[in-house]
Structure 1
């Protein structure tokens, strides 16, 4: 499958940097080390809140440009950091999700994980037409708002809504998931360098804890 951002998204958000990892051989029995990533997050939050971080501020500006209230709709990394700051930990879901969440905490960058077996054809980050379907984790079907940034496949299924705000339950990682696409996106001043570092670290962790041979790419304007 091919993954891309539409030309209009690149045009409207030229500061965007994207890291992409494709990996096979994912299993639910791995036990990655999360502590070194959560320790970084604790240190970064020690002197303030997630709203003070440049990575989060950049996404808040992007959400405002999309016509969304950034304190009502938060990017995934802000939501994770907010919960982590309040509760001191995140729930364990699946070892790959737990790893990606921990890395997202450390870098304050949204990291999305998609089960490739549940994606029809190619996947594109684009503006919604409004006729796409989105399956919530609760099993409800929604229609994205026209002009909303979504992750859309060839069958018109939205695998994420409001860009980095909320993923779909349809392509969420499950115990039977084997092949995944992992996407990290950032827009702050050092986005490209930070996304490169995040992507390299993630690939290293995948090799360390799974029989995976991850393929990576970095994209920016």
Structure 2
């Protein structure tokens, strides 16, 4: 399983000095314990109710500032971790979606960090974090029907050779590369800013990988830290 290295546009790094991410690639296997994800999600929601990590609010506030730098309005389109956290605080829990999705949502909630999960088999070329020019296509659902839209010029997006896979950095994932427990090739990206301790980022990644190993013991997992200048 050769490791796949995501590419990050230097212009994106300039918007978020000190940005670092943990990239995790997984060759999936048979699931032997589907409860791992739901149990992790329940623990994460309890953690938030108890106050959460001491640096959580500072980290999420830093993401708000980064979003504003490329023209996004975090009050309307917040980073994924902020959206999940607000839902937990409002409703007390999150619904179960899929064993693997539940697990990475749990990590996102507990560690106040955006976590993306992608079906790597649906990718064309390596994932890239870029500043969109507005011509790229994004596969989505419109009124229950598959459709396409384009990002705004200057918007930070994840993409591959075919188009955008996640809009506004980590706000909304596309349907083409959506991950499930049945995906054979999985890719996870945990994205952090300096307000989150590096040790916490590494701990979050370890927790995700440990959960995946409990869920599917035969899975093969590799990880790599992606750090910009000042982000290590």
Fold conserved (TM > 0.5)? yes
* TM-superposed deviation, 1:136: 1.3
State the Cα deviation string for residues 115-147 of structure 1 (Å, max 9, x = none): 011111111001012111101144220101111
Residues 91, 22 of structure 1: alpha-carbon distance in 2 compared, 3 angstrom cutoff? same
For residues 26 and 130 of structure 1, the distance between their equivalents in structure 2, rounded to whole angstroms, comes to 38
Name the CA distance, whole Å, in 2 between partners of 1:71 and 1:207: 36
Residue 16 (structure 2) pairs with residue 13 (structure 1)? yes
**Residues 45 and 92 in structure 2, CA contact (< 8 A), matched pair in contact too:** no
How far apart, CA to CA, are the structure 2 residues paired with 1:45 and 1:175?
Answer: 28
Q: Would you say how many aligned residue pairs link Structure 1 and Structure 2?
A: 217
- Mind listing any 5+ residue stretches in structure 2 that lack a counterpart? none
Per the TM alignment, residue 149 of structure 1 is displaced from its structure 2 partner at its CA by 0.5
Give me the TM-score of the superposition, normalised by structure 2: 0.85
Kindly report structure 1 stretches of 4+ aligned residues shifted beyond 6 Å.
Answer: none
Given that residues 19 and 199 in structure 1 are in contact (C-alpha distance below 8 angstroms), is that contact kept between their aligned partners in structure 2? yes
Task: Report if the CA contact (8 A) 1:27-1:175 is conserved.
Answer: no
Q: Is the 8 A contact 1:110 1:184 kept in 2?
A: yes
Distance in 2, matches of 1:146 and 1:68, equals 11
SS at match of 2:35: coil
Q: Is the Cα–Cα contact under 8 Å of residues 23 and 181 in structure 1 kept in the other structure?
A: yes
1:79-94 aligned at under 5 Å gives the runs 79-94=83-98
User: CA RMSD, aligned part only?
Assistant: 2.1
Indicate the residue corresponding to 2:202 in structure 1.
196
Helix, strand or coil: the match of 1:125? strand
| Among candidates 119, 137, 140, match of residue 136 of structure 1 | 140
1:207 is the counterpart of 2:210: no
> Contact between 1:18 and 1:192, CA under 8 Å: does it hold in 2?
no
CA separation of 1:36 and 1:112: change in aligned 2, threshold 3 A: closer
Q: Counterparts of 1:149 and 1:71 in 2: how far apart (Å)?
A: 17
Distance 1:33 1:177, change over 3 A: closer
The equivalent of 1:125 in structure 2 is: 129
Match of 1:58 in 2: 62
Deviation at 1:40, TM superposition (A): 4.6
Q: Alignment partner for residue 117 of structure 2, among 113, 134, 140?
A: 113
**From 132, 147, 158, the counterpart of 2:154:** 147
Q: Is the 8 A contact 1:192 1:220 kept in 2?
A: no
Whether the 8 Å contact between 2:22 and 2:224 is mirrored in structure 1 is yes
Q: In 1, distance between residues paired with 2:47 and 2:96?
A: 21
Aligned with 2:136: secondary structure?
coil
Structure 1 residues 43, 209: CA separation in 2 closer, same or farther (over 3 Å shift)? closer
Counterpart residue number, 1:75: 79
1:178 aligns with 2:184: yes
